[in-house]
Amino acid sequence: MLEGFLKGLDQPEYIHVLINPLPVYGLAMGLVALMIGLVLRSREARTGALALILIAAASAWPVLHYGQQGYDRVKGMADSEGEKWLEEHKRRAEQLIFAFYALGAVALVSIGAEWKRPKAALPFAITTLVLATVALGIGGYIAYAGGHIRHKEFRFEPAPELRTDEHHGGSDHAGRCHPFVLGLRQKRSMRVASAQEPAPLMRATMS
* Domains of the chain, residue spans: 7-157+172-189
The Cα–Cα gap between 82 and 72 comes to 13
* Digit-coded pLDDT (tens) for 40-63: 999 999 999 999 999 999 999 999
* Digit-coded pLDDT (tens) for 72-102: 888 888 777 878 888 998 999 999 999 999 9
pTM above 0.85? no
- Tell me which of 1.10.760, 3.40.390, 1.20.120, 3.30.450 is the CATH number of domain 7-157+172-189: 1.20.120
Q: Averaged over 66-70, what is the pLDDT? A: 89
The Cα–Cα gap between 81 and 38 comes to 45
**Which 3-state string (H, E, C) describes 68-117?**
HHCHHHHHHHCCHHHHHHHHHHHHHHHHHCHHHHHHHHHHHHHHHHHHHC
